[in-house]
């Protein structure tokens, strides 16, 4: 086993079977939180099985290694602990939290769930029905519809085009055998990062992880390798008539992956445009001009190129002028550098929110494990702050010129309003 003390707070170890273990000792409260990451997010699904990782996350805690769903729930509740599973685009996640004295027992339970889920047929069918209800519910939410049609237009055949839930066709087709095969393929020790934070020493934490996972052998098959298609689509407009009281206007630009040089500059531009009540879009389009019910900007942290999105909800009669105004605000970023005071405000927002996002043991375990599973290493925690701090106005303008030129358009709302809004786009 290799152990490296990255700094005074975090220990990083690699077990002989390839499991990466991160331990952050925090004696502040008698709590231990754990995050177990698996390289098995929705990116690893076929397009025909979109929603598979999500369904797996719903079913995984419904039975394992001789335990029923009820017995698992009783064990967790008896300890006053929490245990849950989730699927994201780039990873699968099992989360747990407990008092220190019960950590051994809850970690052992998490290990049984992770390694030997039973996927009871009745539970699979129940969770499929619930997922289908969620999918249908999302089809009635204007923002979700707008974001979905933009994502599909931008990513085409890439897995990021699909919702983590999949769609009605793909979710309906998934079987228990599909879950078993997916689990056997991706849930292996050399695909796992375990991040632990709380009142526990690295030595004790490593011993407990070794007890639960040390005998898990790496299979003979090679690790699954993502072989994803290039993102080659061209900007286009997508319109969806819905009988709603407002128009949702969304402009999307293909940005970068988290490890690209321009990532920090785009993160700052998104913060400047849409982060909070003092952001450019909120002040100009909502407060001054009264065009927006809601307005914001998004740029996610992703393993592959992420979308840079600006959006607003507006009255149907304002759709055309609101679209023009939204696009003009983005275009301004390419014609003039942000003044230092404005740029510093955007930096302060990001760095302040980043610091606030590392207050609890769960948040600490989450962020270090997340960086590790993305291949960035836990050093990225320090590098992120440095990257944001070091961006200058010239770099933000260059990023805008390179990435924020030809937008995809997604419009959702009353048919006449979105037709007029799209006419001169």
Its domain, for residue 161, covers 2-213
219 inside domain: no
Percentage of the residues of the chain whose pLDDT score is greater than 70 = 98
Q: How far apart are CA 393 and CA 404, in angstroms?
A: 15
User: Is the predicted pLDDT of residue 7 greater than 60, yes or no?
Assistant: no
The answer to whether residues 56 and 194 belong to one domain is: yes
List phi, psi (to 5°) of 229. -70, 155
Question: Which of these three, 180, 213, 246, is where a domain ends?
Answer: 213
Q: Which residue has the higher pLDDT, 9 or 323?
A: 323
Give me the chain's average pLDDT, please. Answer: 93
- Mean of the pLDDT values across residues 197-202? 96
User: Is the predicted pLDDT of residue 424 greater than 80, yes or no?
Assistant: no
Q: Which residue has the higher pLDDT, 105 or 244?
A: 105
Tokens of 189: 């020790």
- Mean of the pLDDT values across residues 272-301? 94
132 inside domain: yes
The answer to whether residues 171 and 304 belong to one domain is: no
User: Is the predicted pLDDT of residue 421 greater than 90, yes or no?
Assistant: no
The answer to whether residues 283 and 384 belong to one domain is: yes
Count CA atoms within 13 Å of residue 211 on its CB side.
14
Q: Closest Cα to residue 366, out of 306, 297, 307, 301?
A: 301
Task: Check residue 381 and give its pLDDT.
Answer: 94
CATH code of residue 106: 3.30.830.10
User: In terms of DSSP bridges, do strands 92-99 and 294-299 run parallel, antiparallel, or are they unpaired?
Assistant: unpaired
Q: Which residue has the higher pLDDT, 236 or 229?
A: 236
- Mean of the pLDDT values across residues 188-215? 96
Q: How far apart are CA 148 and CA 170, in angstroms?
A: 15
The answer to whether residues 303 and 412 belong to one domain is: yes
The answer to whether residues 191 and 269 belong to one domain is: no
341 inside domain: yes
User: In terms of DSSP bridges, do strands 192-198 and 82-87 run parallel, antiparallel, or are they unpaired?
Assistant: unpaired
Q: How far apart are CA 415 and CA 410, in angstroms?
A: 13
1: confidence class by pLDDT, cuts 50, 70, 90: low
Q: What is the CA radius of gyration of the chain?
A: 23
Span 44-94, pLDDT tens digits: 998 899 999 999 999 999 999 889 999 999 999 999 999 999 999 999 999
The answer to whether residues 205 and 260 belong to one domain is: no
Span 119-134, pLDDT tens digits: 999 999 999 999 999 9
């Amino acid at each position: 086993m290799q152990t490296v003390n990255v700094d005074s707070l975090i220990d990083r170890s690699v077990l002989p079977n390839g499991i990466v273990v991160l331990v952050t000792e925090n004696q502040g409260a008698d709590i231990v939180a754990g995050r177990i990451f698996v390289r098995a997010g929705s990116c690893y699904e076929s397009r025909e099985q979109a929603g598979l990782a999500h369904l797996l996350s719903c079913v995984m805690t419904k039975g394992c290694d001789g335990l029923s769903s009820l017995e698992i729930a009783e064990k967790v509740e008896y300890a006053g602990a929490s245990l849950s599973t989730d699927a994201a685009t780039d990873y699968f996640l099992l989360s747990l939290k407990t008092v220190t004295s019960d950590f051994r027992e809850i970690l052992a339970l998490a290990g049984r769930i992770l390694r030997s889920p039973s996927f009871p047929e009745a539970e699979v069918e129940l969770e499929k029905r619930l997922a289908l209800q969620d999918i249908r519910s999302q089809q009635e939410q204007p923002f979700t519809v707008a974001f979905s049609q933009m994502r599909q237009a931008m990513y085409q055949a890439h897995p990021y085009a699909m919702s983590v839930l999949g769609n009605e066709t793909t979710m309906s087709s998934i079987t228990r055998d599909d879950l078993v095969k997916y689990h056997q393929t991706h849930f292996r020790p050399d695909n796992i990062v375990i991040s632990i934070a709380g009142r526990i020493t690295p030595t004790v934490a490593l011993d407990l992880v070794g007890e639960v996972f040390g005998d898990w052998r790496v299979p003979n098959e090679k690790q699954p390798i993502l072989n994803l298609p290039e993102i080659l689509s061209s900007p286009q407009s997508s319109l969806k008539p819905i009988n709603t009281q407002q128009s949702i206007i969304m402009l999307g630009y293909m940005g970068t992956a988290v490890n690209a040089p321009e990532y920090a500059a785009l993160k700052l531009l998104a913060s400047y445009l849409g982060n909070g009540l003092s952001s450019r879009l909120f002040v100009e389009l909502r407060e001054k001009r009264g065009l927006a019910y809601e307005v914001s900007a998004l740029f996610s942290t992703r393993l592959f190129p992420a979308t840079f999105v600006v959006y607003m909800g507006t009255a149907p009669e304002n759709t055309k002028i609101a679209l023009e105004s939204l696009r003009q605000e983005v275009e301004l970023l390419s014609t003039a550098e942000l003044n230092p005071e404005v740029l510093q405000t955007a930096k302060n927002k990001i760095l302040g929110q980043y610091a606030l996002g590392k207050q609890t043991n769960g948040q600490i375990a989450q962020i270090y494990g997340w960086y590790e599973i993305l291949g960035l290493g836990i050093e990225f925690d320090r590098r992120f702050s440095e990257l944001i701090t070091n961006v200058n106005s010239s770099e933000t303008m260059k990023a805008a010129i390179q990435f924020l030129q030809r937008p995809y358009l997604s419009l959702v709302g009353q048919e006449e309003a979105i037709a007029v809004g799209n006419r001169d786009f």
